Homo-oligomer: A and B are copies of this chain.
């Protein structure tokens, strides 16, 4: 089940690490330490450890994924041939930097929203980097967020395009009901009328697309009056700047920002002879 790391290593190493093959003796052993350069929620340390294992080196986690890390703390210590450490360095750092960026931002937004509504969920979307989704979803979970769907095979999610092509909310939901009983049915709505049709059609989750906080609150209240336990999600146009405004209105706030516009956190790796 480790082929993803092999694929990533092949991307970086290609036909060989020509610098290390020239500059570093084949039998030189070394220790490497990955250090945090700015405060964050750690993610990807487990993945970095797997990378080095894949290369025959031994990695010990000094800190666990999901914990708060301070600048200067060592998160991973790796022992092995110097060449293997150099071969894995960049990939390991890329994993940790990017995943910690996502975990930290998720954690920030979850805290912000939970201060307003302790039960609200902050969720990711499918707006992830192609080929890297499982890592980005994992980072969201480590930051306390909800991964939402991993792919099109996960839950039924009827979006605007589906509704338009199917000829309306009611017809789309009627068709979706023929699917497996194991799946939830979610539907994206654009106004109050569609939302009411969605409730009536038996949707498990209603996603309010591009609603203002006030509009979301109003329709959510109406929907809950009719079916108390319907799940209400808001999405579209949500950023770190306005997310708090939605926190008290709905059950779930989902935003692509977590994975498509997040800054990495800085880490570095120092390698020394043993």
Contact = CB atoms under 8 A, between A and B. Distances in A.
Contacts of A6: 1, 3
Contact of A158 (B19, B231, B262): B19
Contacts of A20: 152, 162
Interface residues of A, number: 98
A101 B3 CA distance: 29
A152 to B, nearest CB: 4
Contacts of A16: 134, 150, 152-153
Contact of A181 (B17, B30, B85, B252): B252
Give the interface SS of chain A, mostly helix, strand, loop or mixed.
Answer: mixed
A72 interface: no
Interface of A: 1, 3-4, 6-20, 22-24, 28, 30, 32, 54-55, 82, 85-87, 89-91, 93-95, 97-98, 101, 121, 123, 126-135, 137, 146-159, 161-162, 164-166, 172, 175-176, 178-184, 186, 205, 231, 233, 251-252, 256, 260-264, 269-273
